Structure 1
């Protein structure tokens, strides 16, 4: 039995929406909301806050992708998009918007579960990679600030690099702060005194 998910299906055709909803229910997902009009997709996704978005459009509009991108809908949750025909420009726009799965050839009931599971897994991997990238950027920025603070101490007090590092570390420990906070305060004070 799949984990309970709140799924939004974007499908203007009522008959196709019914097929999709039934396939989702047969796969064990009961909390399904169908959106027939994607013109207010941004507001609707904000209101519903689904776990997964499934878009089945014969002729998807760039507006739908832009709405997903604007609300970071595709960045906050897995999005699987099913289209009837291949369109390189649209597939590129879908990737840029963060769509987790872009499936050409329409949607059939038996394909829904494996494609949604793949989209969810891919989204998880991409989210983890983004988190790791953000953490690496943060660590690099902090390292630069600490190095800059050490440079200020070396210049002002005639310390070696190791002595400057140890002074920052001791000051942070004495004040019960993180070393980056002490280094940032030193850099900020230095900029104010120029």
Structure 2
């Protein structure tokens, strides 16, 4: 019996965001450096098997373009100050977080702090060599996934604590109105939830809502 061939893993879809360097005059040298950096980045991404879906300027249209393209990762190529780029990236990823890797020559502490606060997964200084691209992106992706897992666990914990407070308040109301012990109030809540086919926290919230209306 022949086995069905496994599908190859889907390539990571990447959007590259470039800082804008004006052409002409003293900016010619900066533009040439940026072109070299951009070429090294593109070569490294292609050689590593990534799918570059777009190379975008860091302008006011960036959030809209990212929303349309839905990339798996965003790479920022910023030779120097990337604060304006980060502002657009924050807006673009506000509703749907994505791993962000920033390659830059700016090694100032304030810039690093601002980048990490904006949600950058990896801040790489003077490291835009094509052979370093894949390991850097792998680490950034692993870190992003771990952060998302921790955030999800934290959100779940907060939700459970909020539900527990609602249940405790509802038990208190039942204990007061029906002169029940805490255990009796809890059992009554469970019975009401089962009869209504609701979760314990949902029936508890209904009791609180009724109490507020009558109260």
Superposition TM-score tier, normalisation by shorter sequence: over 0.9
CA shift in 2, pair 1:153/1:171, >3 Å: same
Alignment pair present for 1:78 and 2:95: no
2:82 to 61, 65, 71: 61
CA shift in 2, pair 1:41/1:148, >3 Å: same
Aligned match of 2:110: 89
Alignment pair present for 1:8 and 2:15: yes
Deviates more, 1:94-103 or 1:24-33: 24-33
Deviates more, 1:69-78 or 1:87-96: 69-78
Aligned match of 1:152: 173
Aligned Cα root-mean-square deviation (Å)? 1.8
Q: Deviations over 1:157-179 (max 9, x none)?
A: 10000000000001101111111
Deviates more, 1:2-11 or 1:172-181: 2-11
SS in 1 for 2:67: helix
1:146, distance to aligned residue in structure 2 (A): 0.3
CA distance in 1, matches of 2:11, 2:170: 50
Aligned match of 1:193: 214
1:59, distance to aligned residue in structure 2 (A): 1.5
Alignment pair present for 1:112 and 2:133: yes
Deviates more, 1:28-37 or 1:182-191: 28-37
CA distance in 1, matches of 2:15, 2:92: 15
Over alpha carbons, which structure has the higher Rg?
Answer: 2
Alignment pair present for 1:22 and 2:43: yes
1:123 to 131, 138, 144: 144
Contact 1:150 1:161 in 2 (8 A): yes
Runs of 4+ in structure 1 deviating by more than 4 angstroms, as ranges, are none
With normalisation by structure 2, the TM-score equals: 0.84
SS in 2 for 1:76: coil
Q: Deviations over 1:23-56 (max 9, x none)?
A: 1111011344211344432122112111001111
SS in 2 for 1:10: strand
Contact 1:58 1:83 in 2 (8 A): yes
Unaligned ranges ≥5, structure 1: none
1:106, distance to aligned residue in structure 2 (A): 4.0
Unaligned ranges ≥5, structure 2: 1-7, 20-33
**Number of positions where the alignment pairs a residue of Structure 1 with one of Structure 2:** 194
1:154, distance to aligned residue in structure 2 (A): 0.5
Q: Deviations over 1:128-176 (max 9, x none)?
A: 0000000000000000000000001011110000000000001101111
With normalisation by structure 1, the TM-score equals: 0.93
Contact 2:101 2:137 in 1 (8 A): yes
